[in-house]
């Protein structure tokens, strides 16, 4: 009999992929979904999956017996202030959610749970409940190279097993075949030239929620999501005329876990990071302009117009292809964005202001205290990139760390690789462990 894998609170665009993945996880496993979003629940209904929980949200006066949840375990992993406050104050919605997840686990007895990113309220509660029951946990997140995913047993980004289990010397010593080097080189050339093949869609077309689900989600979002009106009017929407060379600082989504969990120096106070970077550049490279690009998902959540007025010499970019900016830049400065890896792909020195998956001294230039920033920028600006080491690290990412499949790609190869990785994480007896450096191309 197939054992359930519980997919916890996935976004609506992912539901169909992981539902289709059930054909590749079987016969040992079957996907079951716990979803809170109206649109996700609408997609599940159209795919004829049962709905867990029975309703979108609720409240409870007390936590259920047997649901042993430690708030001190949850708080450091939560992405938003609202979720942290919900746990600290034991609000009725939090108590309801703990109860629903507790009863869900008791009812379906999952072999494993799957958490996307792992920093949402439902995900952190589910992780703790699962670990107390000895249930395997699999984390997922978008990968750092095109058409890849992070799939790991301890977390994603700086929480992943690979971020802690490998040293740079071990990565440097890995042996690769000429075929593997050429395969990666073709991928990187296609990425730089914007010639990557389009992901294969679902064979029977995209399944979408009903218009009623969209309407309900929109009404809910209006009351629960923070947006700004009239912000970023001084920032051009398209890439303007860029300086001949410059330092590039791509901003990140303010409420993303990369900032709220993995940025000990600045948190999500990007204004402070911008001010420090500008000041340090004026000190160590006074003739080098600074170019700052908004993250497209943050354009309606943060207003940078006051900083545009305060720093008129800075070039601000609202949107556009980041590759065009990377190609012209002298160095890249990031908290811990994927653009750091993209900077390495373009052969640029990368300065990292937060905890990151790739934050190795020698590969990039980490900043561990704000006072270090000028000296780190000076070192990054004046020293050439170690191209051989960058190649070794990207090979390590592509063939060992990341899974070569993606939830946007419904091709059989993508589905089989993702399913195989999830099965191996569930079935491994000593999770997590370092993968053998077999360098397989399968």
* pLDDT for the residue numbered 170: 96
Positions in the chain whose pLDDT score sits under 70: 227, 429-442
* pLDDT for the residue numbered 431: 42
Please list the residues that pair with 52 across neighbouring strands.
34
* pLDDT for the residue numbered 430: 43
Residue 196 to residue 2: CA distance in whole angstroms: 37
pLDDT digits (tens, 9 = 90+) for 202-232: 998 999 999 999 999 998 887 777 767 778 8
Angle between helices 121-132 and 81-89 (to 10 degrees): 50
Region 3-199+402-427: CATH code = 3.40.50
In the chain, where the domains are located:
3-199+402-427, 226-393
* pLDDT for the residue numbered 440: 38
* pLDDT for the residue numbered 229: 73
Please list the residues that pair with 155 across neighbouring strands.
none
* pLDDT for the residue numbered 135: 95
* pLDDT for the residue numbered 232: 87
Contact 143, 403 (CB under 8 A): yes
187 Rama class: left (phi>0) / alpha (psi -120 to 50) / beta? alpha
The CATH number of domain 226-393, selected from 3.40.50.1970, 3.40.50.300, 3.40.50.720, 3.40.50.2000: 3.40.50.2000
Burial profile 188-211: b = 16 or more Cβ within 10 angstroms, e = fewer: beebbeeeeeeeeeeeeeebebee
Query: 3-199+402-427 and 226-393: same fold?
Result: yes
Contact 306, 235 (CB under 8 A): no
């Amino acid at each position: 009999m197939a054992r359930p894998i519980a997919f916890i609170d996935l976004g609506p665009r992912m539901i169909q992929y992981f539902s289709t993945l059930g054909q590749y996880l079987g016969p040992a496993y079957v996907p079951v979904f716990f979803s809170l979003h109206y649109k996700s629940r609408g997609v599940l209904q159209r795919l004829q999956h049962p709905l867990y929980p029975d309703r979108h949200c609720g409240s409870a006066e007390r936590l259920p017996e047997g649901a042993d949840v430690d708030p001190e375990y949850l708080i450091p992993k939560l992405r938003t202030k609202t979720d942290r406050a919900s746990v600290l104050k034991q609000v009725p919605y939090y108590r309801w959610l703990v109860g629903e997840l507790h009863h869900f686990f008791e009812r379906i007895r999952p072999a494993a749970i799957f958490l996307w990113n792992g920093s949402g309220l439902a995900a952190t509660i589910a992780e703790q409940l699962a670990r107390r029951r000895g249930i395997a946990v699999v984390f997922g997140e978008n990968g750092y190279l095109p058409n890849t995913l992070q799939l790991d047993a301890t977390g994603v980004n700086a929480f992943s097993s690979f971020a802690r289990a490998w040293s740079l010397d071990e990565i440097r010593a890995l042996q690769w075949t000429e075929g593997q080097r050429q395969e990666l080189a073709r991928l990187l050339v296609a990425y730089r030239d914007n010639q990557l093949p389009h992901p294969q869609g679902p064979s029977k077309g995209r399944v979408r929620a009903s218009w009623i689900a969209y309407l309900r989600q929109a009404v809910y979002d209006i009351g629960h999501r923070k947006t700004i009106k009239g912000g970023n009017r001084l920032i051009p929407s398209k890439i303007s005329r860029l300086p001949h060379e410059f330092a590039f600082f791509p901003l990140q989504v303010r409420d993303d876990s990369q900032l709220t969990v993995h940025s000990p120096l600045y948190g999500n106070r990007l204004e402070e990071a911008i001010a420090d970077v500008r000041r340090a550049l004026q000190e160590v490279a006074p003739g080098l302009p600074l170019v700052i690009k908004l993250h497209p998902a943050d354009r309606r959540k943060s207003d940078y117009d006051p900083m545009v007025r305060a720093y008129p010499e800075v070039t601000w970019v609202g949107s556009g292809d980041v590759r065009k900016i990377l190609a012209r830049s002298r160095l890249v400065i990031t908290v811990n964005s994927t653009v750091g890896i993209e900077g390495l792909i373009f052969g640029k020195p990368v300065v990292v202001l937060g905890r990151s998956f790739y934050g190795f001294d020698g590969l990039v230039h980490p900043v561990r205290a704000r006072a270090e920033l000028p000296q780190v920028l000076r070192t990054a600006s004046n020293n050439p990139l170690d191209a051989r080491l960058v190649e070794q690290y990207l090979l390590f990412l592509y063939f060992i760390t990341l899974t070569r499949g993606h939830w946007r790609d419904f091709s059989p190869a993508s589905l089989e690789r993702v399913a195989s990785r999830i099965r191996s994480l569930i079935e491994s007896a000593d999770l997590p462990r370092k993968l053998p450096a077999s360098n397989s191309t399968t």
